[in-house]
Structure formats: C-alpha cells, structure tokens
Amino acid sequence: MLLRLISPLMNVVDLPMRALQRRLGISRLAWVFLLPNLLLFGTFAFLPILLNFAYAFTGTDNILLLDRTFVGAENFAQLLDCDSYLDPNTCARDLFWRAVHNTAWFIVMQVGFMVGFSLLTALVLNREIKARGFFRAVFFFPVLLSPVVVALVWKWVLQRNGILNAGLEAVGMDSVVWLLDRHWAFFWSVFLSVWAHMGFYTLILLAGLQAIPRDVYEAAVMDAAGPWRTFRRITLPLLMPTMLVVMVLALIKGVQTFDEIYAFTGGGPGSATTFIIQYIYETGFGGAPRLFGPAAAASLLLALLLVALTVIQLWITRRSSNG
C-alpha cells in the first residue's frame, strides 16, 4: 500500500537524478546521495558542537550569539570554583557539584547493580529452562516503555497509600513516604533505572554467553570441573569482552540519565536526585534568567567525558571483534 504511494514519487525523483548523473559522473553522484544526510548532520549535530564552545565562553542570557559578550573562561572558572571538590557546599555553583556528586554515586551504584543483575539474569536464561522466550521477554519489555510511563508505574507503587506501604503495614512495619526521603529517593532512582534498562544489557550478555563454544563446556565436564569452577575459569574469562562493552555502555547512558528520574522525583527531595543533564536543562531552560553560558560550559565538560568513554568503548569493541 505504502509502497504504491511512494513509488511514483521516487520515479519523479529519477528524472533530476538521471540529469545529475550525466552531469557529474557516477563517482561524484555519491555526494548527491550523501547531501541530505550531511546537511542535517552539519546543521543539527556538527554546527551545535562548534557553537557550544562559543556559548561556553560568552555571557548574558541572550540566545543570539552576536548579542553575547565574551567572558573568556569565566563560566568554567565559576563552575570549577570550589574550596573542596568533595564538598559541594564550598563551591560557587554548589548545585552543579551536587549534580556531579549525585551522578557519580548514581553511576557507581547503577552500573554495579545493572551489570550484576544482567549477568545473573543472562546466566539463568542461558540454562536449559522452559519457556525461555517468555522469560526473556519479561525481562526485556521495560526497555520499550517510555521514561514517563516507567516513572509513573513506580510512583504509583511507592505513593503514600500505595501497595508497597500496604504490604509493609500488613507485615507489621511502618509505611514510609519513599520519595520524600533523600536516601530512599536515591535508592529508588537507582532501582527504577536498573529495572527499566536491565533487559537491554541482559540481551547483550546473553548473546555473549551463547557465542561461547559448547565443546569448551563439554571438555570441562570431562575434567570433572564443578559448576562454580566452570563459571570462574571458563564463562567469566570468555565473557569478559562483552562484560566490558556492557559496563562502558551502561556508564555512557548512566552519565546522561535524565528523563525517567526527572519525571519520577523531579530531582528531589531538595536536590538529592538532581543529575548533570538536569542541571544543564534547568540552568539553560528551566526559567529566567536563562544562563546559557554555564549550561554550555557544563555541557562541554560532560561531552569531554562522553567522548573519552566512547573512545574506550570503540577500542574495546574493535579489539574484541578482531579476536
């Protein structure tokens, strides 16, 4: 149906493309095919990367570059102005450092639990179990849910009169206002994040497990190696490259955590679950004055971190795919 609709359109495009082909020759026609994509990349990805520097080194809340004043490294100096980097309260932009601290703790815990539970789940799913497809789907489906839906699902479970509190009271414990306590809010943020994304990493690890040749295990059985020894000596070393990819991927995504936590806690209580992207969002777009300079400077610092992580990831992927 759809094809029949597009087909005449594509035939119309054929005429100018044929003319271009006669004009340019086949090899230069490649650029014509690339053009739309490159225009979009250039305008909405590459240009912004360059412009980000311009914003990071200029001040005032004006979005038009020409109306902004050059301030040198002022934005960075303010962001990095701290008596002690370990204590956000001593920093000029304390919220930024609080966000940095939160993000650091968040990724340490989130990546740890994520890799741990994904590995456990992948190991279980790799066994000869019944209805494997169903169980795989069970762990995977939250990956597809939108961040706002994930946040609301858990908000509803955790709300004051929610089912979790009902369960606690049923066994004689006191109910807790989960999202108004900073430690619990942080815990549930990590939990929600692992819950929502675990299936994705499980899938990658499962593929890694299935790539381990069967005969290695058969040899282990011959040598009468126990399950624990087989895991330590065979599964884990052979799975290590995949584990590394999973870890770095989880790191890259963890650093950029925003959507579901913003919808879940709004960054609160206080700033207990405010992460770096939320700091950038609120500094630049949250309300007047729109501090584009500091937002861009913080983005730049984050971008540097991400580039470093991606380079590591590409390096690992290349090394492991080359054997």
Partner 1 sequence: MANVTAFLTRTRGRGRLHWTDWASYAYLALGVFLMFGPVIWLVVSSFKTQAELDRFPPRFLPYAPETVQLDGHAEPLPLFRVTDGPLAGETVAQVRRIGLTSQVVRPEAPGEVVKINRADRVPVERVKPALENYRTLFERFDFMRYFWNSTFITLTATAITLLVNSMAAFALAKYEFRGRGAVVALVIGVLMVPQSVVLVPLFMVTREFGMLDSPWGVIIPGAATPTGVFLLRQYMLTIPDEILDAARMDKASEWKIFWRIVLPLSAPAIAVLAILSIMWRWNDFLWPLIALSRSENYTLQLALNSFQGEMRTEWSSLLAMTVLTLLPVALVFAFLQKYIATGIASTGGK
Applying the rule CB under 8 A, the residues between 29 and 88 that interact with partner 1 are 29-31, 33-34, 36-38, 40-41, 43-52, 54-55, 63-65
Rounded Cα distance, 23 and 137, in Å: 53
> Toward partner 1, which CB reaches closer, 58 or 271?
58
> Toward partner 1, which CB reaches closer, 86 or 287?
287
**Options 74-82, 177-185, 211-219, 278-286: segment touching partner 1 (CB under 8 A):** 278-286
Question: Alpha helices, DSSP H only, in 181-291?
Answer: 182-210, 214-222, 227-230, 236-255, 259-264, 276-285
Rounded Cα distance, 82 and 155, in Å: 36
Instruction: Tell me the two tokens of residue 252.
Output: 């890259």
**Options 69-77, 89-97, 148-156, 179-187: segment touching partner 1 (CB under 8 A):** 148-156
> Toward partner 1, which CB reaches closer, 28 or 84?
28
Q: Which amino acid is at 297?
A: A
Strand pairing partners for 91? 82
Among 5, 27, 174, 322, binds partner 1 (CB under 8 A): 27
The DSSP secondary structure of 77-129, one letter per residue, reads HHHH-BS-TT-GGGBTTHHHHHHHHHHHHHHHHHHHHHHHHHHHHHHHHHSS-
Residue 216 interacts with partner 1 (CB under 8 A): yes or no: no
Residue 315 interacts with partner 1 (CB under 8 A): yes or no: no
Among 76, 106, 178, 292, binds partner 1 (CB under 8 A): 292
Among 71, 74, 136, 269, binds partner 1 (CB under 8 A): 136
Among 141, 211, 232, 270, binds partner 1 (CB under 8 A): 141
Residue 259 interacts with partner 1 (CB under 8 A): yes or no: yes
Among 60, 78, 230, 256, binds partner 1 (CB under 8 A): 256
Residue 195 interacts with partner 1 (CB under 8 A): yes or no: yes
Listed in sequence order, the residues at least 6 apart from 317 whose beta carbon sits closer than 8 Å to its beta carbon are 245
Query: Prior bond to 269 cis, omega within 30?
Result: yes
Tell me how far, at minimum, the Cβ of 84 lies from partner 1, in Å.
26
- DSSP-assigned letter for residue 136: H
Instruction: Tell me the two tokens of residue 205.
Output: 């690890």
Tell me how far, at minimum, the Cβ of 89 lies from partner 1, in Å.
26
Helix (H, G, I), strand (E, B) or coil at 275: coil
Residue 139 interacts with partner 1 (CB under 8 A): yes or no: yes
> Toward partner 1, which CB reaches closer, 90 or 166?
166
